[in-house]
Chains A and B, each alone.
Chain A
C-alpha cells in the first residue's frame, strides 16, 4: 500500500486484489458514456456534478471498484475535476478503491446485531472464507480471500435491527443468521460458480 501522506500516489495507483479476475477491467466505451449521460440528464440543467454518485455506482457495479483510471473519466462525465471525484470517492464507505471478491459479504456489527452475535459471526465467516479478521483495518476495512471468490467487510447498521444478526451478500440481505445458516448460504454461493 502507498504511504497515506502521498496523496497523488493514492490516486494514481490501485491496491491489487485477487478479486480482479472476476470483474472486467475499466474501459471507457461509447455505451458506458451513453449510460453516464443518462444519469446526467436526470438532474436539472447545469447540475452535472449531481450525477457523480450515480456514475460512481455504475462504474462500481460493472467493474467492482473505482480504479485510478476511472476517476478522470468520471470527472469528465460530470464536468468536474479528478481531485474532486477522488474526494467524493474517499469520503463514502460504500465506495471501494479496491476490488472486492466475486461475492462481497457485509456483516453488520452495530449494537443490535452485535447483541445477537454479529461479532462472533464475523469471525466465523472469516474462518470459513480463509481471511484473518486482523486483515480488516480502519484504513482498509475490506479483506479479500486469496482465491478472490470472497471479500468481507464489517459494516455499520443495515437498518434491519429487530432481526439480527444481519448479513448482506452482494445485494441480498440475510437475517437472523446463525453459523449453521451462514454455512448453507456460503455453500449456496459456492454452487453458483
Chain B
C-alpha cells in the first residue's frame, strides 16, 4: 500500500487514514474501470454476491456503520425497515445532492473514483434486493455526470451492473438523474419527489423512512455517497473488524472538509474519534492564519450550531470525574460534539477567526436559507426572509436591541414547526449565533457604532464590522 504516490501538494497528513479517499489526487489514477480494477476494485462485490442478501445486511448492521449524509442513522438498520412480505419493487437512491455549505466530500468521489460508488451501490442494492437504482446528482456537477455515465457503461460492459451480474442471475439497472440546483432535494423525500417529476416539496412524516413508502409508493432506500462507499469498506474488512476501529458508536473513517480561516483548508480522512478538533485545526490544517486567533467553529455544515472557541465545556474523564475543556478537546466522532449542543453532521467544518463579524456571517447563512426554502411550510417560507431582513438591518446598524431578541424568537418559532428538517437547519444557526455572540449583535444596534468611530466604545464595536487583511 505504501507505493501510492499523491500529486505534489496533495499528500495526506501522517495522521490521516485514506480509505474512501485512497485514490483521490493519486498520481496515475483515472476514473476509468482499469484503474479501479488494478486497485482491487469490485472484489467486495464478488464477496457480497457469494453471500445471502440477508447476510450482507447483517454484516453492515454488525459493522455499526452510520450514514454520512448528516443525520448519522445506522445504515444497516435503515435497510431492515423495508416492510416484511413486501411484494412491490424496492428502489435504492444514492443521494449525491451534496449542497450543505461547508461539505465537499462527495464531489471528489464522483469526479475521481466513480467506480467505488458504483460498487458500493451494487452491494447495497443486492442486500435490499433492489433491481433499479438511481444516482441523484446535483446539477452543479456537470463534469461528474459525464464521468459517472461513462463509468456506469464501463461497469455494465464488465458485468458489474445490468443483467445477470457476475453470472449470479441478479439484475440491476442504475441510472443517473440530475437535479437542478435546489438544496431541498438533499432531503430524502424532497429528492424522491424530484425524481417523480413533481415539485420537490418534502413529504409529510410519518412514515419517517421512505423505506416504508418512497419512490412511486414503493419501499425506497436513500443513502449518501460516502455511506455507500463505506458499505464497500465493510465488505472488504468484515463487519466486526470495521466496528472495532474508531469511536465505539460511530466506527470507521470519516471525511472532514475544512473551510474558512485556517492555513491549509481542504479534505482530511481520519479514523472517527482518533483526533480532536484542536488537533485537526492546529496540526492537520496548520493553525490559524498569521497573527490571527480562532474565534468560532461551525462543526458540521452550515446548519450545525456554531461553537465559540473560548467557550468552557464540561466533559467527563474516563473515571467519571468532571473536567473543564474547550471545543478543541472534543474528539471528532459523530456523537461527542452533540453532547455540547451542536452536531457533527456531514463533516463540514467551517472555521472563523477573530477578523470575522459574526452578524455578517449569520446574514450570509440567513440569505442561503431564505433562498433555499422550498416554500411549502409557512413558518419557514415567511420566517427565513424575515430573519434575513432582521440580520441585514443589524449589519447595517439600523436595528434596535430588541431586534436581536426578535431574530431569535423568529427562529424559535420556525424550529420544529415544519414538514422537514430544514426548519431546524435554518433556525439552529440563528439561535446559536445570537445567543453565543450576543454582544456583537447588540454592539451593532447602537446607531453610533455604525458611523465613523469617534470614541473608544464605538471603535470597539466597529472592529466587528471591518476586516483588516
Binding site for B on A (CB under 8 A): 42-44, 47, 49-54, 56-57, 78, 80, 84, 87-88, 91-95, 106, 109-112, 114-115, 155-164, 168, 171-173
Contacts and interface: CB of A to CB of B under 8 A. Distances in A.
Interface in B127-151: 132, 138-143
B349 to A, nearest CB: 10
A94 B197 contact: no
B368 A156 contact: yes
Given A44-B216, A95-B180, A159 B106 contact: yes
A88 B140 contact: no
B67 interface: no
Contact of B180 (A92, A159, A171): A92
A123 B249 CA distance: 47
A135 to B, nearest CB: 17
A165 B464 CA distance: 22
B267 interface: yes
A47 B175 CA distance: 14
A159 B140 contact: yes
B259 A112 contact: yes
A61 B400 CA distance: 48
Interface residues of B, number: 53
Given A111-B102, A111-B302, A162-B104, A155 B181 contact: yes
A92 B102 CA distance: 21
For the complex of A and B, 10 pairs with smallest distance between CB atoms = A94-B181, A92-B180, A49-B197, A94-B180, A161-B259, A112-B259, A162-B265, A171-B142, A52-B197, A94-B139
Contacts of B374: 91
Contacts of B106: 159
B143 A171 contact: yes
Contact of A156 (B175, B197, B258, B371): B371
Interface stretch (B50-58, B93-101, B313-321): B93-101
Contacts, number: 134
B107 A159 contact: yes
Contact of A110 (B101, B132, B257, B267): B101
Given A50-B195, A111-B350, A157 B101 contact: yes
Contacts of A110: 101, 302, 364, 368
A166 to B, nearest CB: 10
Contacts of A106: 140
B101 A111 contact: yes
B365 interface: yes
Contacts of B371: 93, 156
A32 to B, nearest CB: 18
A162 B256 CA distance: 10
Contacts of A163: 265-266
B180 A51 contact: no
A95 B181 CA distance: 8
B415 interface: no
Given A47-B216, A163-B265, A164-B259, A157 B99 contact: yes
B296 to A, nearest CB: 12
Nearest to A91: B199
B342 to A, nearest CB: 16
18 contacts: A44-B216, A53-B178, A54-B177, A54-B178, A91-B374, A93-B180, A94-B179, A94-B182, A111-B260, A111-B361, A111-B368, A157-B101, A157-B368, A159-B98, A159-B107, A160-B104, A162-B259, A172-B143
B261 interface: yes
B103 interface: yes
> Which of the listed residues B132, B197, B371, B374 has the most CB atoms from chain A within 10 Å of its own CB?
B197
Interface in B193-210: 194-200
A129 to B, nearest CB: 21
B182 A91 contact: yes
A156 B98 contact: no
Contacts of B177: 50, 53-54
Contacts of A53: 177-180, 194, 197
A160 B194 CA distance: 24
A163 B106 CA distance: 15
A83 B250 CA distance: 47
B382 to A, nearest CB: 15
B260 A50 contact: no
A164 B265 CA distance: 10
B331 interface: no
B59 to A, nearest CB: 29
